[in-house]
Structure 1
Amino acid sequence: MLKRFLAFSAVWLIASAAQALVLRDDRQVEVTIAKPPQRIVSLLPSLTETVCALGQCQKLVGVDRYSNWPDSIAKLPRMGGGIDPNIESVVAAKPDLVLMATSARGAERLTALGLTVFALEPNSHADVQRVMRIVAQALDVPVAESDRVWRHIDAAVNAAAQSIPAQAKGQRVYFEVSPAPYGASESSFIGETLQRLGARNILSASLGPFPKINPEYVVRAQPDIIMVGDSNFANMTTRPGWQNMRAMRTQRVCHFKSEESDMLVRAGPRMAEAARLMAKCMTDKADASKANDKPKGQP
């Protein structure tokens, strides 16, 4: 009887070990996922959107306060911010997997409390593809499915680029991500999208992905187009010299609604929609520039 019990235990342990998955996250920590997760907490909007893009929305039991897409997650419990999650709320949800940013606080404490924590933070197009693949592995979704989703995103960004007329390309763009101000440089995922669309970024990669800049820098650079969220646009005119910038005078400023800004500043599955917004801005403002450059009285 004892031999049969020991043999059964050995088989169970081998099966359990075979089912367990070890993945390295962006902290360079090896995380063991004992079995395909059924209760997921996501504490970064781009990761929430990635889970849903992979068809696993129904497994989410909590998200951060900023996650707002797709609509099906609207009634999920909110568990603090992406940087400062509410540890008690996360633990109370009894998740078998917690997805969070590498910059977030609390990963060590959640791990110490017995939760499986996986930290990821996509910052480039390549990161989005990589993170989508690794999340698929963690959720027991075929990698072929994550590759299919990525191909759709990539093809849609290419289509957005092809939709822009030649005369609208080569424009110099300033993209503001927050009002300090912080801008998106060439090395950010936003900068990568702009480059693929044929725009020229006034913020070089050497400044870092999202540098805090002196507003006078933008005045001196004289961008052809400014892209900014509605909430940032309101105080732009109060900055010294900004009212006299050519882009401001000729209304070559695209200020995006909050739901559009969400798409634009998240490195995730909705990058294709973000590329379409930027492409429309470049096309529209190039046309506006032509109209503004016409001599007075000319139709």
Structure 2
Amino acid sequence: MARTIIYFGAILALAAAAAVGRASLRPIAESADGADGANGALRHPPRRIASLSPSTTELCAALGLTDRLVARSRYCDWPPTILEVPPVGGLLDLDVERLVAARPDLVLLPGRSQAQRDALSRTGLRFVSLPDSALEDVFVSLEQLGRLAGVDAEAAAVIARIRHELDGLTRSSRPARPLGVLLVVERLQLPPTRVYVAGPGSYLDRLLRLAGHENAMASLGRVWGEVGLEEVLLADPDAIIEFPSDARVDDLQAVRDGWAKVGAMNAVRSNRVFVLAGQQHTVPGPRVADTLRAIVELLRR
């Protein structure tokens, strides 16, 4: 589902959370700076970190913290060496006993999901939610994690590098004519019915504008949403980019043939139907410059 693509930590297992209640661990309290935590701020940088989403795991990798990871979600697969870290389940099947047994002194959550915080509040484990909705959240999360982990200087250097890469790509892209681009956050289902798209103000919309192009669904009125095929045809996009979570696309022509069934559009006539596969492209993270670079290169064709 598209909502699963946007980020993987939307809901934790309520049944698993109930099982945690039997553990005799410390209660959670809200820390003074507004982030989540147990009994206030950490006295020392965490040495044992559990990361429950691909976005938070990639943040750890960017800051050189993978050697501190003692648990991850099953969806975490970057960098490849992270697969050596024991998984503790996923969306609706978090293995709470295994998480607690890993003895993390800090658990990283994506976004600000109340369901996730409620579930972990029953464990007594310290946790923090790192924002992952907008481009600026990449820098906010890196700074916050760097401060918590005691690697402030490393975080500042990574932030500076990413900003420099984004600035360079923005300056060099400058297309002769901005294209109206439909950003589809899922595979087109056949037979075509409705599509889930990135609207104005979304993370992908921001990257598209940095690339010098326009969102074909700028009038959507919300950040993400489902639209009917009639709306797509009315928008008549110049280009279409699908962002499936799959790591690869076997048959691009089949994707283009599927969109041809939707109807006559500029994107279909000009053969500007593309696929940018991989979960790293739909959730803000330290590889954001790679996503912007890929968008720029696709739309230059």
TM-score, normalised with respect to structure 1:
0.77
CA contact (8 A) 1:216 1:240 kept: no
Aligned mates of 1:23, 1:117 — CA distance in 2: 13
The alpha-carbon deviation at position 205 of structure 1 amounts to: 7.2
Aligned mates of 1:173, 1:189 — CA distance in 2: 14
Residue 294 of structure 1 corresponds to none
- The structure with the greater share of residues assigned to helix is 1
Residue 149 of structure 1 corresponds to 158
Residue 265 of structure 1 corresponds to 282
Aligned AA (2:232) = V
Distance 1:69 1:249, change over 3 A: same
- Counting only pairs closer than 5 Å after superposition, residues 44-63 of structure 1 correspond to structure 2 as 44-63=53-72
- Given candidates 126, 135, 139, the residue that maps to 1:125 is 135
Aligned mates of 1:153, 1:193 — CA distance in 2: 13
The alpha-carbon deviation at position 122 of structure 1 amounts to: 1.7
The alpha-carbon deviation at position 106 of structure 1 amounts to: 4.2
Residue 37 of structure 1 corresponds to 46
Please provide the CA RMSD for this pair. 2.7
Residue 217 of structure 1 corresponds to 231
Residue 185 of structure 1 corresponds to 199
Residue 19 of structure 2 corresponds to none
Aligned mates of 1:61, 1:28 — CA distance in 2: 18
- Counting only pairs closer than 5 Å after superposition, residues 56-135 of structure 1 correspond to structure 2 as 56-82=65-91, 85-101=94-110, 102-103=112-113, 105-135=115-145
Distance 1:208 1:147, change over 3 A: farther
CA contact (8 A) 1:175 1:226 kept: yes
Residue 183 of structure 2 corresponds to 175
Aligned mates of 2:296, 2:65 — CA distance in 1: 30
Aligned mates of 1:164, 1:34 — CA distance in 2: 46
Aligned AA (1:116) = R
Aligned mates of 1:83, 1:123 — CA distance in 2: 21
Distance 1:159 1:214, change over 3 A: same
TM-score, normalised with respect to structure 2:
0.76
Aligned mates of 1:71, 1:49 — CA distance in 2: 11
Distance 1:86 1:209, change over 3 A: farther
The alpha-carbon deviation at position 165 of structure 1 amounts to: 5.2
The alignment partner of 2:227 has SS state of: coil
The alpha-carbon deviation at position 30 of structure 1 amounts to: 8.6
* 2:193 aligned with 1:194: no
The alpha-carbon deviation at position 88 of structure 1 amounts to: 2.3
Name stretches of at least 5 consecutive residues in structure 2 with no aligned partner.
Answer: 1-30, 188-193
Aligned AA (1:51) = C
Distance 1:202 1:170, change over 3 A: same
The alignment partner of 1:244 has SS state of: coil
The alignment of Structure 1 onto Structure 2 pairs a total of residues equal to 258
Distance 1:240 1:67, change over 3 A: same
The alpha-carbon deviation at position 154 of structure 1 amounts to: 1.6
CA contact (8 A) 1:40 1:60 kept: yes
The alpha-carbon deviation at position 163 of structure 1 amounts to: 3.1
Q: Deviations over 1:195-228 (max 9, x none)?
A: 1111101223763222222232111101111111
Residue 266 of structure 2 corresponds to 246
The alpha-carbon deviation at position 24 of structure 1 amounts to: 2.4
The alignment partner of 1:281 has SS state of: helix
Aligned AA (1:92) = A
Which structure has the bigger radius of gyration? Answer: 1
CA contact (8 A) 2:38 2:124 kept: no
Distance 1:109 1:123, change over 3 A: closer
